[in-house]
Amino acid sequence: MLNTLGRVVPDTVRGFISATNYQSQERILIPEKAVVDKPLFLGSIKAIFDQYHITDGMTLSFHHHLRNGDQVLNQVCREIQIRGIMNLTIAPSSIFPNNAIIAELIEAGNITNIRTNYINGPAAIPIDQGKLKGLLLMDTHGGRARAIESGDLKIDVAILACPAVDYDGNGSGTEGLSACGTLGYAQSDLRYAAKVILITDTLVNRVKQIDFDGKYVDAIVKIDSIGDPEGIVSGTTKITKDPVGLKIARDAAAFLYQAGVIKPGFSMQTGAGGTSLAVAYQVRKMMIQNQIHGSFASGGTNGYYADMLKEGWIDQIYDVQCFDLDAVKSYRDNPRHLAISASKYGNPFEKDPIVNQLSFVALGATEIDLDFNVNVTTDSLGRLIGGSGGHADTAHGAAVTIITTTLAKARLPIIKERVTAITTPGEDVDVLVTERGIAINPRRTDLIDKMKNSRLTIMTIGELMAISHQISGIPQAIKKPGKVTGLIVYRDGTILDQLYQRL
Amino acid sequence: MVRSMLFIPGNNPAMLQNADVFGADAVIIDLEDAVSIQEKDAARILVKAYLESIDHPPMKIYIRINGLDTTDYEKDLQSVVTDQIDGIVLPKAKVCDVERLLTLLYKIESETHMQKIIGIIPIVESAKSVLEIEKLAALSRIQGMLLGAEDLSADMELMRTITGTEIEYPRARMAFACKAYKIDAIDTPFTDTSDNLGLIADCQKAQNLGLNAKAAIHPNQLETIHDVFSPSLQRIEWAKRVLKAAKKADDQGLGVFSLDGKMIDKPIIERATKIMESAKKYRLLPVEHA
Amino acid sequence: MLTGIAGTLESNDAMITVTPADKLTIEVKSVVDAFYHDQIVKVIKDTLFDSKIANISVMCQDKGALDYTIRARLLTAISRMEEQNG
């Protein structure tokens, strides 16, 4: 059947209705897991399998706070392989290039279903090839929290990497050999999985800052290393030096200023990529020039935001994950750098999630269409390259959602008639900023009105697409896809779109 | 009048296709130093194809051809002299070279029935050129002059320095000549693309001597160059007030009037008018925001 | 072997190699194959037609070059090939 965005979805599911439909729905909460008196200390990852009888068909969950340096998910996968356990569902909050071993488990049938918010790298290939026997379900960060707390995603065993753990089972993200900062994506797993295991490489008497409440922890395993610090917090992301990206960032900041978004007490989120950081830099320039202080920044944080907090340009940081060591240190040392769970961050059923308090969010896109629907899940050939992460959550919550992108990438226009896959519905996307012009969603008559005297180059998204076609030529249509390999799940559990075999 | 001229390497498609996006007031597409000898043919053909593909670019387009002492310049001119460009930037320019170029331009323009009269920007980069500055500025079709400090200091056997003492004289001489003939005085590029503070200081030195623009070798230098060479917000405010007062005085039939205790006469009103024209042209008038 | 090569493998450029042949052969390998393969072949064909050249083998390794870049690189490769001919 077709959902309200005109995308084919299975008849057996609830298709996407609207971005605000959740407001008329009740929050569903299953009971929290059993509280644990004293956690068990197990000697190895092997021991988890024996102790908790991990067998065919179970659902195992993980978080991705160790990013591309994670060793825990990989070691668990290795053990699954050795034991020949089959038909598992894995639910890591994200999958990175260093989790290539997942590809082997998919091909062999150890893993038949995957539920995640982001997937990039070799693990995506067998899925694109149609080799996953079940389905890939892709949530948003906030939506995953909803799925877990409502029982949509029932977790048998949550295997959570944790930089430092004490003898009461409390866990910390800021101490230990592989300190990674806040542990926001694991908070729902911690509370609702049937069994919770912490994997650490640093046991201490008492953690200084509790990120995982020990009462939920069934067992602890100490291994030599939970991850490679280089891959976890890879240096500090630098602002892009690309002149075109810088121009886009300048125009995005100018737009926000002229539209009255950057005013005393405003809040922001921009993500951590080179261009996003450039937007943050330009916004900060405006703040300094006009002596405007912000209330908070959220995300995905890094050293740049830690500095803004330190210098007093923003009052608080709400942090769901740390991208670099400076952010980790800031979270550890600065009392105004606060951790939030994925639920508090973006669960639509939370009373007042952080995303709803944002004045603006600046996001990227691999594709955007004439209805302002955005794709960050696949490339233009339909191959998996990412996923919503917080994209659809922040786009809905923020008062102004800005997409910054070049008009074309390696000749290929970003603006399409219809995106290959919908990650974020157009009703939540307000402004597109490219190096050749800015388009405002026609729904936002308020922004159109505010910007009517602006000297920025503002035109319709159709006109921008025409310009890109003039320059690049009109791209050929790609060949029709194969079978359905997965579903893109909106924050409220309804289905936005399907994913297809492309290789 | 311009504030910036951005060098774009002629054999680089990625830079060419973004030439109109970087925000420079003018671009200098370079067939000379940015292109190796083996690639001169490729650059020429690519630039020609690029020029044929564009329509109403937002910036002025100049081409730096190879010097008249090479075998390339004639083919360069044959390829690029079209209605698409605004002018030719001539390296190592002396009066006799410009005169020769004028003849060649005139010939191509009439043979190909062009609408435009192509301008010339000579590069002052030898001791001889410095001595000819006024004569160069007076020649027909000259739209501006560009100082080439690296080659000039090599010719003078002087070290290039951050303080720039070695080029103070040519900068000043060029500024006076350009002002006298009402053409652009374009300062030499600042070669350290990672040193923004150094760029600001260098721009200010040039501005203080009377130059009105600077060449850029990287798009990321443009923001700073425009900051320095554009009228500041204060200057614009001042100009607005002067023109408002001038209109008032005019309505009252007064020839001369005072503002802030200073006498305002015709030259000052002309300066204020020029500032407002610049401000409008470079979109600097403060935008009201919501 | 008479060959003309022009262009680079940098982003937005194309490296084109031409050699004289008995008939026209065009081979295109592009980073945007799925979207612009036919368009690139068309530009090559049109350029050869305008240059009145038919018996040539063209190999194009494309990194997202726009039409005029492909045309320019092809013309340069042909000119270099012909130069070798004396």
Inter-chain CB proximity B46 and C72 less than 8 Å: yes
Q: In tens digits, what is the pLDDT along chain A, a chain of 503 residues?
A: 999 999 999 999 999 999 999 999 999 999 999 999 999 999 999 999 999 999 999 999 999 999 889 999 999 999 999 999 999 999 999 999 999 999 999 999 999 999 999 999 999 999 999 999 999 999 999 999 999 999 999 999 999 999 999 999 999 999 998 999 999 999 999 999 999 999 999 999 999 999 999 999 999 999 999 998 777 765 556 788 899 999 999 999 999 999 999 999 999 999 767 788 899 999 999 999 899 999 999 998 988 899 999 999 999 999 999 988 899 999 999 999 999 999 999 999 999 999 999 999 999 999 999 999 999 999 999 999 999 999 999 999 999 999 999 999 999 999 999 999 999 999 999 999 999 999 999 999 999 999 999 999 999 999 999 999 999 999 999 999 999 999 999 999 999 999 999 99
Most A CBs within 10 A among C30, C35, C42, hence the mutation to make, goes to C35
Strand partners for A268: A297, A360
- Which 44-83 residues of chain C touch chain B by CB within 8 A? 65-69, 71-73, 75-76, 79-80
HSE toward the beta carbon, residue B282, CA cutoff 13 A: 26
Contacts of A479 in chain C (CB under 8 A): 34
Contacts of B288 in chain A (CB under 8 A): 453
Asked whether the beta carbons of C18 and C74 are under 8 A apart, the reply is yes
Q: Are residues A263 and A214 in the same domain?
A: no
Q: Are residues A311 and A456 in the same domain?
A: yes
Domain count, chain C: 1
Nearest to C36 among A381, A473, A479 (CB): A473
Map residue C9 onto helix, strand or coil. Answer: coil
Chains touching chain A, criterion 3+ CB pairs below 8 Å: B, C
Inter-chain CB proximity A247 and B283 less than 8 Å: no
Strand partners for A203: A165
Q: Which amino acid is at A440?
A: I
Q: What is the pLDDT of residue C86?
A: 56
| Residue B288 pLDDT class (50, 70, 90 cuts) | low
Distance from CA of A473 to the nearest CA of C (A): 8
DSSP label at residue A37: S
Q: Are residues A306 and A350 in the same domain?
A: yes
In A61-140, alpha helices (H): 72-83, 101-108, 124-128
Asked whether the beta carbons of A92 and A154 are under 8 A apart, the reply is no
Radius of gyration of chain A (CA): 22
- pLDDT value at B289 more than 90: no
Map residue B135 onto helix, strand or coil. Answer: helix
Distance from CA of C55 to the nearest CA of A (A): 28
**Residue A124 within a domain:** yes
Most B CBs within 10 A among C69, C74, C79, C83, hence the mutation to make, goes to C69
Residue of B nearest to A257 (CA): B289
Find the CATH number of the domain harbouring C52.
3.30.230.10
Burial letters A248-287, b for 16+ CB under 10 A, else e: bbbbbbbbbbbbbbbeeebbbbbbbbebbbbbbbbbbeeb
Residues B13-64 pLDDT 10s: 999 999 999 999 999 999 999 999 999 999 999 999 999 999 999 999 999 9
Inter-chain CB proximity A473 and C37 less than 8 Å: no
Rounded distance between C-alpha atoms, residue C27 and residue C58, angstroms: 6
**Which tokens go with B239?**
């100009």
More confident residue, A223 or B250: A223
CATH number of B4-229, picked from 3.40.50.300, 3.40.50.1000, 3.10.20.30, 3.20.20.60: 3.20.20.60
Inter-chain CB proximity C32 and A410 less than 8 Å: yes
* Residues belonging to chain B with any Cβ–Cβ distance to chain A shorter than 8 Å: 17-18, 21-23, 218-220, 223, 283, 287-290
Inter-chain CB proximity B21 and A435 less than 8 Å: yes
Q: Are residues A371 and A468 in the same domain?
A: yes
Nearest to C12 among B17, B45, B49 (CB): B17
Inter-chain CB proximity C72 and B52 less than 8 Å: no
**Residue A275 within a domain:** yes
**Residue A130 within a domain:** yes
**Which tokens go with B161?**
């320095």
Q: Please state, as a whole number, how many other Cβ atoms lie within 10 Å of the Cβ of residue A21.
A: 15
**Residue A12 within a domain:** no
Asked whether the beta carbons of C58 and C40 are under 8 A apart, the reply is no
Q: Are residues A268 and A357 in the same domain?
A: yes
Distance from CA of A391 to the nearest CA of B (A): 27
| Residue B290 pLDDT class (50, 70, 90 cuts) | very low
Chains touching chain B, criterion 3+ CB pairs below 8 Å: A, C
How far is CA C36 from its chain centroid?
14
| Terminal-residue alpha carbon distance, chain C | 13
- Give me the domain span that covers residue C62: 4-84
Q: What is the pLDDT of residue A412?
A: 95
Rounded distance between C-alpha atoms, residue A388 and residue A422, angstroms: 10
Asked whether the beta carbons of A106 and A119 are under 8 A apart, the reply is no
- pLDDT value at B234 more than 90: no
Residue of A nearest to C42 (CA): A473
Rounded distance between C-alpha atoms, residue B173 and residue A41, angstroms: 83
Domain ranges of chain B: 4-229, 233-281
Does B75 lie at the interface with C, CB-CB under 8 angstroms? no
Rounded distance between C-alpha atoms, residue A324 and residue A370, angstroms: 36
Asked whether the beta carbons of C6 and C73 are under 8 A apart, the reply is yes
- pLDDT value at B261 more than 90: no
Strand partners for A318: A298, A338
Q: What is the pLDDT of residue B249?
A: 87
HSE toward the beta carbon, residue B228, CA cutoff 13 A: 25
Contacts of A247 in chain B (CB under 8 A): 21-23
Nearest to A473 among C31, C39, C63 (CB): C39
Percentage of chain C beyond pLDDT 90 is: 93
Reference B26, options B11, B46, B7; nearest CA is B7
| Residue C45 pLDDT class (50, 70, 90 cuts) | very high
- Give me the domain span that covers residue A63: 31-232
DSSP label at residue A114: E
Contacts of B287 in chain A (CB under 8 A): 258, 453-455
Contacts of B24 in chain A (CB under 8 A): none
Q: Which amino acid is at A192?
A: Y
Contacts of B46 in chain C (CB under 8 A): 68-69, 72-73, 76
Distance from CA of A450 to the nearest CA of B (A): 6
**Which tokens go with A346?**
């973006």
Find the CATH number of the domain harbouring A76.
3.40.1080.10
Which residues have CB under 8 Å from A176's CB, separation 6+?
A: A163, A164, A200, A201, A202, A204
Q: Are residues A52 and A163 in the same domain?
A: yes
- Which 27-46 residues of chain B touch chain C by CB within 8 A? 41-42, 45-46
What's the rounded mean pLDDT across residues B232-238?
89
Does A473 lie at the interface with C, CB-CB under 8 angstroms? yes
Mean pLDDT over each residue of chain B, to the nearest integer: 94
Map residue A451 onto helix, strand or coil. Answer: coil
Decide which of A162, A197, A232 is a domain's last residue: A232
Nearest to C71 among B12, B42, B49 (CB): B49
Inter-chain CB proximity A244 and B21 less than 8 Å: yes
Nearest to A476 among C12, C34, C65 (CB): C34
Nearest to B290 among A243, A260, A471 (CB): A260
Does C9 lie at the interface with B, CB-CB under 8 angstroms? no
Inter-chain CB proximity B18 and A435 less than 8 Å: yes
Domain count, chain A: 2
Strand partners for C19: C57
H helix or E strand, kind and range, residue A287: helix A274-290
Residue of A nearest to C11 (CA): A410
Residue C18, phi-psi category: left (phi > 0), alpha (psi -120 to 50), beta (remainder) = beta
Reference A384, options A198, A137, A88, A148; nearest CA is A137
Decide which of A178, A206, A232 is a domain's last residue: A232
Residues C20-36 pLDDT 10s: 999 999 999 999 999 99
Contacts of C66 in chain A (CB under 8 A): 411, 471-473
Contacts of A260 in chain B (CB under 8 A): 289-290
More confident residue, B77 or B248: B77
Q: What is the pLDDT of residue B287?
A: 60
Map residue B273 onto helix, strand or coil. Answer: helix
- pLDDT value at B134 more than 90: yes
Distance from CA of A310 to the nearest CA of C (A): 40
Most B CBs within 10 A among C68, C71, C83, hence the mutation to make, goes to C68
Inter-chain CB proximity C34 and A471 less than 8 Å: no
Q: Are residues A103 and A219 in the same domain?
A: yes
**Residue A368 within a domain:** yes
Which residues have CB under 8 Å from A253's CB, separation 6+?
A: A262, A279, A282, A283, A285, A286
Inter-chain CB proximity B290 and A435 less than 8 Å: no
Inter-chain CB proximity C35 and A412 less than 8 Å: yes
Decide which of A232, A262, A290 is a domain's last residue: A232
Q: Is the dihedral of CA A350, A351, A356, A357 positive or negative?
A: negative
Q: Are residues A166 and A294 in the same domain?
A: no
Q: Is the dihedral of CA A158, A161, A167, A170 positive or negative?
A: negative
Strand partners for A90: A60, A114
Distance from CA of B214 to the nearest CA of C (A): 29
